[in-house]
Amino acid sequence: MLDRARNKHNQLSLTLHSACNAITRAYRSTLDPFDVTYPQYLVLLALWQQDSISVKELSTQTLLDSSTLTPLLKRLEAKDLITRSRRHDDERVRVICLTHKGHELERIASDIPVNIRRRIGLSVQDERELQRYCERIIARLG
């Protein structure tokens, strides 16, 4: 039994890690024409759902820490996809907003999730089920 547990093919962590890497690679090739990295895309997805959000809220939604977000946001700002400003009532809080170009990218890139789902070979139902499993893992371990 112990030998079976040590077998790399029976390790959930390896399978999940490999699947995440494969999905990231699929996104990378899909996002290249838009000059956006996968982590930048995650930020844009959050902003497309809720524009004008604090860095702290963005960190919570994307599960990216501030040391990762800060340089990423600077690059998105340099590409004119977002603006970073201080909140008027509390200057300690950075607020991130989409620019016109950032909103336009949402329209242009709207078919990315469908294309990725097709590449993976998932139905909409399979994708929802997989998301539920992943959300449970995040909730229990996060």
pLDDT by residue, tens only, the chain of 142 residues: 455 555 656 688 898 899 999 999 999 989 999 999 999 999 999 999 999 999 999 999 999 998 999 999 999 999 999 999 988 888 888 899 999 999 999 999 999 988 998 898 988 899 899 999 999 998 999 7
Q: What burial letters (b/e) apply to 75-85, b meaning 16+ CB within 10 Å? A: bbeebebbeee
CB count within 10 Å of CB 43 equals: 26
Confidence (pLDDT) at 8: 59
pLDDT for residue 84: 94
Q: How far is CA 39 from the centre of its chain?
A: 5
**pLDDT, position 122:** 86
pLDDT for 49 equals: 95
What per-residue confidence (pLDDT) applies to 9? 60
C-alpha closest to that of 102 among 43, 56, 37, 54 = 43
Q: What pLDDT score does 5 carry?
A: 53
Q: What is the pLDDT of residue 26?
A: 92
Hunting for tokens 């990725």 — which residue is that? 116
Question: What is the end-to-end Cα distance of the chain in Å, rounded?
Answer: 29
**Which option is the CATH number for 36-108: 3.30.830.10, 3.40.50.2300, 1.10.10.10, 3.40.50.720?**
1.10.10.10
